[in-house]
Amino acid sequence: MIIKKSLEKWVLLSPALVVLGLVTLVPFVQTLWLSFTDTRITAITKPISWIGLENYIYALTDPDFIEALGRTMYFTLTSVGAEGILGVGVALLLNQKFPGRNILRVLIILPWAVPTIVNAVMWRLIYHPEYGALNSMLWQMGIITEYQSWLGDPDRALNMIIFADVWKNFPLVAYIALAALQTVPADLLQASRIEGAGPWRRFRTITLPWIFGPLLVVLILRTIEAFRVFDIVYVMTRGGPSDSTKTASFFVYQEYFSYLRSGSGASYAVLLAAISAVLITIYYIGARRQVQG
């Protein structure tokens, strides 16, 4: 009976194991193998030689890659940070009682529902240097005296992309925070209020610690997602101007499909995977704490 059950378990799991094995595990091992070779994408087949750690040594001393990594970290921390603050703020608002609250709760799902690419396209149009709504609006309000090239300026292109990313993703954080807020015991807040704690103090000492677990988990999840950012950059700037928005995934994409260096590209990809693995482990620890309570 026990043997039968154990066998059955693997039978039930086997389709999933086959799919994931073929589509993720095998390619990953192949990428790992490639990263130790000097393979290039060419029409003619040429012998591939094993070059050990050479790609890695090059990658880790490549200032362009280090810069791309730094940019990705900046993108990740800034956008996830802003999504966290905005998300919690919105959740606090939506947790209050006021007329129109229910409509607002439904409406804020819209940015989340807009496809990533449409979001990127929409903001690209809004930021357009000549015909964009942002320029026109700020100019008519007298905030700027001449039209700006929002995505054409290396100093701010990345921040403009971050803004677009935050707009799309804050609802997710807001919903998770709201779900957690609804479980904060009212009598605890009441007791604290009677003891004379102000709203900020109540938030800091009761509400925030109470929602911290779920909030942390969703923020780590967003961190993992933001770290591999590609689509929004592809549509909005293609990594430019002067590489100022070239994130790590975009960097590897170019190494593969523009410069056709698959061996070297693979080593960059493995390094990204290693960083992601660290983040995933942190997520695992955080999520397990949540389950155990």
Please say whether the beta carbons of 270 and 31 come within 8 A.
Answer: yes
Q: Is 259 in the site for other proteins (CB under 8 A)?
A: no
Distance CA 28, CA 283 (A): 21
Selected from 50, 212, 257, 259, the binder of other proteins by CB under 8 A is: 257
Selected from 121, 184, 188, 282, the binder of other proteins by CB under 8 A is: 121
Selected from 130, 146, 187, 195, the binder of other proteins by CB under 8 A is: 130
In the bound state with other proteins, the residue whose beta carbon lies nearer, of 155 and 284, is 284
* CB 47 to other proteins: min, Å: 17
Selected from 38, 67, 111, 184, the binder of other proteins by CB under 8 A is: 111
Q: Is 3 in the site for other proteins (CB under 8 A)?
A: no
Selected from 81, 128, 129, 153, the binder of other proteins by CB under 8 A is: 128
Q: Is 249 in the site for other proteins (CB under 8 A)?
A: yes
Tally Cβ neighbours within 10 Å of residue 121. 15
Binding mask 228-247 for other proteins (x = CB under 8 A): x-xx--xx------------
Q: What is the largest CA-CA distance in the chain?
A: 80
In the bound state with other proteins, the residue whose beta carbon lies nearer, of 136 and 159, is 136
* Binders of other proteins in range 191-230 (CB under 8 A): 214, 217-218, 221, 224, 227-228, 230
Distance CA 139, CA 82 (A): 26
In the bound state with other proteins, the residue whose beta carbon lies nearer, of 114 and 184, is 114
* Binders of other proteins in range 64-83 (CB under 8 A): none
